[in-house]
Amino acid sequence: MSSPLKPGTSNAYNITALSLACEVNDILRDIGPRWKMQVLHNIAAGTKQFSSLKQAFPSLSDQILGKRLSELVDDGLIHKIVMQEKVPKRIHYFTSDKGLELLKIIDELHKWGLKWQ
């Protein structure tokens, strides 16, 4: 989420109620932030560096791209590898098995959306 929830608010209550009703709501909230799945998809397709991702998404700010990359690493959907031999250090991102499995599901969801939209 973009900002911490204030305890006792209706939004905090609703998120808790949805979470208790069905775990899928938590999953959708975790994968749903803007740009997150697009960044994951591009990394899986071969875009491995920050600068390449910036070229793929020119309207995406550095701050949000960095945040999404951190979230994807924290979620275990991508791996971050720092290349030590270069100055400045280069960072490469690779899709994990968990990320590849999620992308299969996202692809099926995409096909479903195309069929029914």
Domains of the chain as residue ranges with CATH = 1-31 (no CATH), 33-116 (1.10.10.10)
Contacts of 82 (CB under 8 A, 6+ apart): 89, 90, 91
Euclidean distance between CA atoms 90 and 25, whole angstroms: 36
* Residue 89 · residue 83 · CB < 8 Å: yes
Contacts of 26 (CB under 8 A, 6+ apart): 19
Q: What are the pLDDT digits (tens) for 84-115?
A: 877 788 899 999 999 999 999 999 999 999 99
Model confidence at 24: pLDDT above 90: no
pLDDT at site 3: 63
Handedness of CA 14, 64, 31, 82 (dihedral sign): negative
Indicate the helix (H) or strand (E) that contains 95: strand 90-95
Share of the chain above pLDDT 90, in %: 65
